[in-house]
Structure 1
Amino acid sequence: MSAQNKDRLLAQAVALREQGHPEQARERLLALTAAFPDAADVAYQTAWVHDVLGLEAEAVPYYERSLQGDGLAEEERRGALLGLGSTYRVLGRFGQAVETLRLGVAEFPDDGALRTFLAMALFNTGEHHEAMRLLLCLLAASSGDPHVQQYRAAIEHYATDLTQIM
C-alpha cells in the first residue's frame, strides 16, 4: 500500500469518526495501523477513536507510539499530548498524566486546555496549590468577564501564593 493510498484511507477513517461512526473508523484504523505500524498520524487517529469509544486503556499504546519521533504535525502533537495526558488521568495514572501534560504545557504554553488538564492531574496528585495557581492564572488571562478583568492583577498576584494575607 502506498503512502498516498494511506493518506486517503486515513482521511476516510477520520471522516467516519467525525460523522459519528467510530466503530467503523476503528476497524479501518486498526487495519491501517497493521499496514503502517510506524506512521505517527495513523497511531494518533487510532488512539483518538479508542478514546471516543471509551476504550482508554487501548488508546494509550497508540498515543505513545504517535509521540515517538517527529512524525506528527504540530496540532496533532498538541492533541496527542492532551489525549495521552487526559487518558492517563482517567486511568488513575496520575503521575504519568502530570508528566505528559507538563511536557505539553512546556511545548505549547499558550494552550489553555493543556493547562486545565494539567491542573486536574495536579489536583489528583495532591498538588492543590499548583493546580489552583494554574487555573487562576488561566482565568485571569482568558476570561472575558469584565469583573474578572477588573481584578486581573490581584488574581495573578495571589495565584502565586494563596496563603498570603497581605
Structure 2
Amino acid sequence: MTTLNDRTSLLAEAIALRTADRTEEARTRLLSLSERFPADAEIAYQTAWAHDRLGLEAEAVPFYESALAGTLTPADRKGALLGLGSTYRILGRYEDAVRTLRTGAAEFPEDGALRTFLSMALFNTGEAHEGMRLLLRLLAETSDDASVRQYRAAIEYYAKDLTATE
C-alpha cells in the first residue's frame, strides 16, 4: 500500500525528471501514480503537463480536466487553466479554449499569459476585435518599452474602441 509520504516523494521524483528534460520517464511514473491516485488533482495536473511537453496534447486533456475538477493550489490551477486552454486551441477546439481561458483570465486577471492565449483563441473564433483589445490593454499595462509607455494613454484609448479615429 502506498502511503501519503510515498505519494509525495514519488511525485517529487517525477517532477524532477520532467524538470531535467527526462519527460518520457516522468510521464511513465506519473501515469503509474495516476492509476494509484485517480482522484489526486496535483498528480493529474503534473501528468497533463508531461503529456503536453511531449506533444501528446490529446492525451493531456483528460488529465487537465481531472485536475481542474479537483482542488489545486492557485498556482497549479492557473497553470492547468492555461495548459488546458492552450491545448484545446492546438487541437482546434477553439470554443473550449475561449471558455477555459476566459475562466482563467477572470480568476487570475493579473496573469498576462492567460490574456495572451485568450486573445489567440479569440482570433481563432473570429473575435479578432476582442483579441486585439486584450493585447493592446496588456501591452499598455506591462510594456517596459519607452515609446509604448509614452503613448500608453492613446493605446488604452484605442483598446476601448479600435474604430475610433481621434
- Show the counterpart of 1:6: 7
Whole-Å separation in 1 of the counterparts to 2:3 and 2:157: 56
Question: What is the TM-score of this pair, normalised by structure 2?
Answer: 0.98
**How far apart are the structure 1 equivalents of 2:25 and 2:73?**
25
Counterpart code for 1:93:
R
User: Where do 1:44-55 residues align within 5 Å?
Assistant: 44-55=45-56
Structure 1 unaligned runs (5+)?
Answer: none
Q: Note the C-alpha offset of 1:160.
A: 1.1
Deviation readout 1:10-67 (Å, 9 max, x if unpaired): 0000000000101100110000000000000000000000000000000000000000
Which structure 2 segments of 5+ residues have no match?
none
Q: CA deviation at 1:161?
A: 1.0
Q: CA deviation at 1:3?
A: 1.4
Aligned AA (1:145): D
SS in structure 2 at match of 1:67: helix
Which residue identity does 1:147 align to in structure 2?
Answer: S
Identity rate, percent: 64
Q: How many residues align?
A: 165
Query: For 1:74-93, what aligned pairs fall within 5 Å after superposition?
Result: 74-93=74-93
Question: What is the aligned partner in structure 1 of residue 123 from structure 2?
Answer: 123
SS in 2 for 1:72: coil
Q: What is the 5 A alignment of 1:112-151?
A: 112-151=112-151
Give the alignment's Cα RMSD to 1 decimal. 0.5
Residue 142 of structure 1 aligns with an amino acid whose one-letter code is T
Q: Distance in 1 between matches of 2:112 and 2:4?
A: 34
